[in-house]
Amino acid sequence: MIQRIQTVYLLIADILIAMLFFFRFAEISSSKDIFSAGIQGIYLDGTRQSQLILHNWPLVVLWIVIPILLFVSVFLFKKRKLQLKLSWINLLFALCMEGVIILEIWFGAQRLSGHSSLTIYFLLPIFAIVLIYLAIRAIKKDELLIRSIDRIR
């Protein structure tokens, strides 16, 4: 299981998505206040204890679903077709997550009349998308290898 490269790709993607909970991916500065955008929404002053200004439930749901599906797909190494389908679903959800993040930052900046600046943690879902795609390619390669071995028998 762990010897397969797609398992490593999926685990690293899982860790990257899970890390989003602890970091803010954007800051929005208005004329008098500074806000920070994270998984739960937009906060005033950028700390967890500060006031939550805007909620973002779709992002929270995606943040919960994606790591669970990634973790489950790691253990489906004997059912490669199902693992491949789950990986495609994860890729789609991760793309949706990145889109929701972009929309949250854009609408938050519009609503709070400020300018947004991205942090490096904005790229974590993009790295996860690349890793999920690499896992899909490796799963396909494994499936083709198994088919070719079955033909030889």
Query: How wide is the angle at C-alpha 84 spanned by C-alphas 78 and 88, nearest 5°?
Result: 155
Q: Supply the angle between the helices 80-111 and 124-152 in degrees, to the nearest 10.
A: 170
Q: Given this model, what pLDDT does residue 153 score?
A: 60
SS3 35: strand
pLDDT confidence of residue 127: 95
Residue pair 127/20 in contact (Cβ under 8 Å)? The answer is: no
pLDDT at 87: 93
20: which 2 tokens?
């989003």
**Structural domain spans, the chain:** 5-146
- Amino acid 96: pLDDT: 94
Predicted local distance difference test score (pLDDT) of residue 1: 55
Q: What is the mean pLDDT of each run of 10 residues along the chain (153 residues)?
A: 81 93 86 83 68 81 92 87 93 94 88 86 93 94 82 66
Q: CATH says 5-146 is which class?
A: mainly alpha
pLDDT value, residue 55: 78
- Predicted pLDDT at 8: 92
